[in-house]
Amino acid sequence: MAPKRWFTLLRNATTALAAVAAAASFATPAIATAAQPPATDVVGGTRAAQGEFPFMVRLSMGCGGALYTKQIVLTAAHCVSRTGSNTSITATVGVVDLQSSSAQKIRSTYVYRSPTYGTSTGGDWALIKLASPVSGLSTLPIATTTAYNSGTFTVAGWGAATEGGSQQRYLLKATVPFVDDATCAAQGGSYPDLIPSAEICAGNLASGGVDTCQGDSGGPMFRRDNNSAWIQVGIVSWGDGCARPHAPGVYTEVSTFASKIAAAAAGL
């Protein structure tokens, strides 16, 4: 990966200490209260209702993910270090409140990291196999064509609600509009490094204010398909800061890697 892309803000907890600090912050969540300005700037998000997005996954290293199958989580490659056996990750599923006693917590057994991540072809995706299937939760199908790579998308996660802020106890959600490749690449900063065939941009270009942020990495960007069912079109990957004007979020373009994801999952 070129240095410029490496030092842009990847949207996971950057160190183990940051993940520990984020976990500690759940006892006093950084959600807007009457004594704080409302979060108009996930950034710009509102709390998701219990059961609204049953496929959402929180990973113990400080990343998000989505249930690709009942036993496999789709997340970002930059959230994991390598392919191989791994029992160190805990997936929390089935709740919007990470402190809920109803949460299912399941350990990982194996990680598959995209072999093309960090190359000129991109591929910021990874799969985490869980020790047992989750129960009572739906999965999130992924887009296999570019048909849904436009319009307005939904993002959700337990990441920071402000740039540099604490990660959240409660799941936040927001909507972001599609930004075409040429416009995204023209925004300066790290955006000229965009890989159009592997990445998709979304955000409020002129005003900013709504975006994924640190701790949301690996989580899904999704929308309704032609049957009004949720379908995943992106994976939270990187961006210059959070919710800044002219700095959209950049997401792994899932349809580009759909066949590779399916093949890797079949082998787990």
Taking the C-alpha atoms of residue 54 and residue 46, their distance in angstroms, rounded to an integer, is 16
Mark whether 108 is an active-site residue.
no
- Adjacent-strand bridge partners of 249: 202
Q: CA nearest 26: which of 67, 58, 48? A: 58
Q: CA nearest 170: which of 85, 255, 52, 254? A: 52
26 vs 15, 19, 143, 200, 252, CA distance in Å? 17, 11, 33, 31, 28
Choice among 41, 108, 114, 124 that is catalytic: 124
Mark whether 124 is an active-site residue.
yes
Taking the C-alpha atoms of residue 19 and residue 239, their distance in angstroms, rounded to an integer, is 19
Choice among 41, 78, 190, 216 that is catalytic: 78
Choice among 108, 166, 190, 217 that is catalytic: 217
Taking the C-alpha atoms of residue 82 and residue 112, their distance in angstroms, rounded to an integer, is 7
Residues annotated as part of the active site: 78, 124, 217
